[in-house]
Amino acid sequence: MNNNSTPNVAIGYVDRCDVSQAKKIAHKWQLEYIGDVKSVSKHPDLQFLLQVNHQYLELCKLDEPKLGAIKVDFVEGAIAHRRKFGGGRGQDIAKAIGLKHSFKPHVLDATAGLGRDAFLLAGLGCQVTLMERMPIVAALLEDGIERARLNSAISDLATHQMKLIHASSIQSMTIAEQPDVIYLDPMYPHREKSALVKKEMRVFQALVGEDLDADSLLAPALALAKYRVVVKRPSYAPPLANKKPSTIIKMKKNRFDVYVNQAIPKPEKE
Ligand SMILES: C[S@@+](CC[C@H](N)C(=O)[O-])C[C@H]1O[C@@H](n2cnc3c(N)ncnc32)[C@H](O)[C@@H]1O
């Protein structure tokens, strides 16, 4: 699947307590509403199912039910753990965006996906605008952000530091107020055998496919970012649009290509 083909997705509820939430999401994202998810067998053409399961919006791949359902959960699980114990400003992503005690940039995450990097950056003090073009992914993200806003520990962060925009950043990047840093992490063809890819990522990859137009993100990003553009790439991938970065930060399987527009200001001495 690539971004020119829309996957066949509908939405339903697992328990009757989620009927109104499921209908609300169906209306907002213009999705077919099937009612109780048990009726899914009456819809053989569906590839994916969004289900509201006790207030959580989840996505299932119908022909591979063993992969389980994916959701965006900033409150518990791996993303929450990474924010609490991930290593703060010492992390490679923090170095790549140029985070300093005195510099907490406004970051436009122009390929937001499931919001893991965005949430991490918000947790490090950045103001983050998340842009995502796929309605299903944007719906999952919105659900995760809304639930985070109800949790006392991260409510402020989710309310004041994370703003979601459903749009394609190739066309609409400038909707975001001028960002200090633009972060890009487009999908790249995966080399790993699918058995090695985590189950949740297999569902996500099947939904999103490859971002075949990713090269077109770089020029508008470089034109808009005040200080820098950071691109996350698998270590074996060529740079985006084959443009040589100013600096590279290498990690085990990935790297950050950093394109510097201008130096980040040094803190004023008192
Ligand atoms: C690899 S995922 C990003 C993962 C994300 N960094 C995270 O931490 O969860 C790439 C995402 O970018 C989105 N995307 C790709 N091109 C885009 C564009 N031009 N505008 C907005 N979103 C885009 C895809 O739909 C996909 O959800």
Divide the 270 residues of the chain into consecutive groups of 10 and give the mean pLDDT of each group: 65 97 96 96 95 96 93 88 78 94 94 96 96 97 97 96 97 93 91 66 90 96 98 96 98 96 82
Mutate-to-test residue for ligand 1 from 187, 188, 217, 232, highest number of ligand atoms within 8 A of CB: 187
Q: Provide the residue type at 214 as one letter.
A: A
- Please work out whether the CB of residue 129 comes within 6 Å of at least one atom of ligand 1: no
Nearest CA, atom 1, ligand 1: 187
Mutate-to-test residue for ligand 1 from 111, 213, 231, 256, highest number of ligand atoms within 8 A of CB: 111
CATH 3.40.50.150 in the chain: give the residue spans. Answer: 78-260
Cα distance between residue 62 and residue 45, in whole Å? 10
Cα distance between residue 234 and residue 187, in whole Å? 10
pLDDT at 177: 86
pLDDT at 269: 64
pTM: 0.94
- The secondary structure of the chain in percent helix, strand, coil, rounded to multiples of 5, reads 40, 25, 40
Cα distance between residue 140 and residue 146, in whole Å? 10
Ligand 1 centroid, distance to 214 Cα (angstroms): 9
Ligand 1 centroid, distance to 247 Cα (angstroms): 22
- 8 Å CB contact between 215 and 237: no
- 8 Å CB contact between 192 and 237: no
| Domain 78-260 top-level CATH class | alpha beta
